[in-house]
Amino acid sequence: MLQPYIPILIQFVIVAALGGIIIGASAFVGRKPRTREKLSPYECGSLPVGDSRGRFSISFYLVGMLFILFDVEAVFLYPWAVVYKELKWLGFIEMFVYILILLAGFLYVWKKGALDWTR
Amino acid sequence: MTTFSDTEFFLIETVIKIAIVMFVLLTAIAYLTWLERKVIAHIQSRWGPYLVGPHGLLQPLADGLKFMFKEDIAPLEVDSVVYWLAPFLAFLMAFLSIAVIPFGTSFTLAGHVIQLQITDLNVGLLFVFAVTSLGVYSVALAGWSSNSKYPLLGGLRSSAQMISYEISLSLGVIGVLMIAGTLSLRGIVDQQAGLWAHSGLFSLLPRWNFFLQPLGFLIYFTAAIAETNRIPFDLPEGETELVAGFHTEYSSFKFAIFFMSEYANMVTVSAIATLLFFGGWLGPSFGPYWLQVILPVFWFCLKLFCFLFFYIWVRGTLPRFRYDQLMAFGWKFLLPLGLLNILATSFIVAWVHS
């Protein structure tokens, strides 16, 4: 039963080895005349100002949260879609109610302005 | 001649298939960069690469060598483990998802049936989505570990964009799943075989899912362009505002690896579009046995090439979105449209099947 997954394991090992070799080789082969200025983070040629891991917009968190909600929804729809032809109208009504509830939540989020990036 | 046991044959067959697929994919990616530069150049009335080899055909090779011998800089104060892990993850995820993509039918060799696909998972589509979406980690980690302001902003923007469009991406294909009733990519293609017989005007059209799910296709492909961070959705790399986005601090082959992964992802999403909506390898097949094996592979590659050309064409045509427009488009337009498409499709499918 797990046999189809063996090629994936082999592929994983091969790709991982290839990636490791490529990254390692380029780090090994290239020239390395290093100075402090060259190793400083890029900031348009001037000296870096302040901490580079500063605070950022709360909207990114919000998007992350909404993603979890709606992606779980999408994943729920997958098994339903696969067996949908056998469920017919029962499946339709059940999923209709489910999507309707989610749509209500979606409209609420929209109304609250969580989807507006510039606020 | 020695004979192999089934297990040995299976393992050898798998390794050979992986080697061929990886070789073809890496070459295709290298020449995709050449094609892109050439096509964009011609769109802009330039010549593009012309010096290395005839028509610049050896340019990808020269680029690869140059990347290899370039100075490999890791800036001070990077989070070194994560900094090195990020390109590795990008490479791994981009090249792992190709394992379930079928690119032809099957043929018989020495009594064994060999499928032209590394492995046929019964959850193939889910596997592709799962693995490609893990690619978000590489972008977010690269941006975070670089200890620089532009990569941080680029990484954040990029991950927000990728997760936003991933929802539309997965909603867009659900219509196809309802029609096909399977998650196996081979199964989905097999179900599209033949023509629309007995339907009057359309009886000569192939039974591709595209004709049943045009809206689903548009949602999927728009989201796919955003997922792969391509123009017009290439905000993460918007060089006019963010230098180079999340890979600003990466040099030599680590930088090249991000590009290779981007192109590999382009190939993967185009392959999925081909398989789900345009009948994969299906096409006119005739002639002797070997031709009947090769022709489907040819049709598959042709369709794939059309999508990849379309990608480049879009890049040569459209300007970049503004970030708030991008988010609004994903959340307020594509997502409701995807849900609407699911409701409409489920209604029609239930109607037809009862």
pLDDT digits (tens, 9 = 90+) for B128-160: 988 888 888 888 888 888 877 788 888 888 888
Element (H, E) at A109: helix A84-112
Q: What was the pLDDT predicted at B270?
A: 92
Whether B1 has a pLDDT exceeding 60, the answer reads no
Q: What is residue B236's predicted lDDT score, i.e. its pLDDT?
A: 67
Query: In whole angstroms, what is the distance from residue B159 CA to residue A61 CA?
Result: 11
Contacts by residues B113-118 (CB-CB < 8 Å, ≥ 24 positions apart): B114/B13, B114/B17, B115/B186, B116/B281, B116/B293, B116/B296, B116/B297, B117/B17, B117/B185, B117/B186, B118/A7, B118/A8, B118/A11, B118/B14, B118/B17, B118/B18, B118/B21
Segment B286-298 mean pLDDT: 85
Enumerate the domain spans of chain A: 3-43+55-112
What pLDDT, on a 0 to 100 scale, did the predictor assign at position B219? 92
Q: Is A38 on the interface with B (CB under 8 A)?
A: yes
At B213 the three-state DSSP class reads coil
pLDDT over 60 (residue B290): yes
pLDDT higher than 60, residue B99: yes
Record the tokens describing residue B111, joined without a space.
Answer: 């009594």
The ipTM of this complex is 0.84
Q: How many CB atoms lie within 10 A of CB A10?
A: 18
Residue among B256, B261, B276, B257 at smallest CA distance from B216: B276
Q: What number is the average pLDDT over the span A12-35? A: 82
Please give the model's pTM, rounded to 2 decimal places.
0.88
pLDDT at position A30 is 67
Nearest to B169 by CA among B88, B110, B213, B223: B223
Strand partners, B107: B114
pLDDT at B120: 83
DSSP category for residue B233: S
Q: What distance in Å separates the CA atoms of residue B88 and residue A17, rounded to the nearest whole number?
A: 10
- Asked whether residue B198 carries a pLDDT value surpassing 70, the answer given is no
Long-range contacts at A30-37 (CB < 8 A, ≥ 24 apart)? A30/B68, A30/B69, A30/B70, A30/B71, A30/B72, A30/B252, A31/B69, A31/B70, A31/B71, A32/B71, A32/B72, A33/B71, A34/B73, A36/B76
| Residue of A113, A96, A22 lying closest to B87 (CA atoms) | A22
Query: Region B106-132: what's the mean pLDDT?
Result: 83
pLDDT of residue B164 exceeding 80: yes
What number is the average pLDDT over the span B339-348? 89
Q: What is the pLDDT of residue B199?
A: 64
Share the mean pLDDT of chain B: 85
End-to-end CA distance of chain A: 52
pLDDT band, residue B14 (cuts 50/70/90): confident
To the question of domain A3-43+55-112 being in CATH 1.20.58.1610, the answer is: yes
For residue B220, the model assigns a pLDDT of: 92
pLDDT band, very low/low/confident/very high, at B284 (cuts 50, 70, 90): confident
Residue B56 and residue B48 in contact, taking contact as beta carbons nearer than 8 Å? yes
- Residue B4 neighbours by CB under 8 Å, 6+ apart: B12
Phi and psi (nearest 5°) for B113? -85, 125
Per-residue confidence (pLDDT) for residue A73, from 0 to 100: 84
Q: What is the pLDDT of residue B309?
A: 92
Check B181 against A74: CB less than 8 A apart: no
Q: How far apart are CA A98 and CA A73, in angstroms?
A: 9
Mean pLDDT on B229-257: 76
- Cα distance from B287 to chain A (closest Cα, Å)? 32
For an interface test with B, the pick among A70, A90, A100 (most B C-beta atoms closer than 10 Å) comes out as A70
Q: Which residues pair with B112 in a beta bridge?
A: B109
B residues 19-38 closer than 8 Å to A (CB): 19, 22
Q: Is B84 on the interface with A (CB under 8 A)?
A: yes
- In A, which residues are within 8 Å of B73 by CB distance? 34, 38-39
Q: What gap in Å lies between CA B250 and CA B257, rounded to an integer?
A: 10
pLDDT band for A24, please (50, 70, 90 cuts). Answer: confident
pLDDT at position A6 is 86
Residue B207 has pLDDT above 60, yes or no: yes
User: If you average pLDDT over residues B228-253, what whole number do you get?
Assistant: 75
DSSP state string for B287-328:
SSHHHHHHHHHHHHHHHHHHHHHHHHHHHHH--PPPHHHHHH
CA quadruple B299, B305, B308, B313: dihedral positive or negative? Answer: negative
Residue B157 to residue B180: CA distance in whole angstroms? 35
For residues B165 and B230, is the Cβ–Cβ distance under 8 A? no
Residue B148 has its nearest CB partner, among A41, A64, A99, at: A41
Percent of chain A whose pLDDT exceeds 70: 85
pLDDT at residue number B238: 65
Least confident of A21-25, A55-59, B289-293, B338-342: A55-59
Stretch among B10-19, B29-38, B65-74, B291-300 having the lowest mean pLDDT:
B65-74
Work out the average pLDDT over B199-213: 77
Sign (positive or negative) of CA dihedral B334, B335, B338, B339: negative
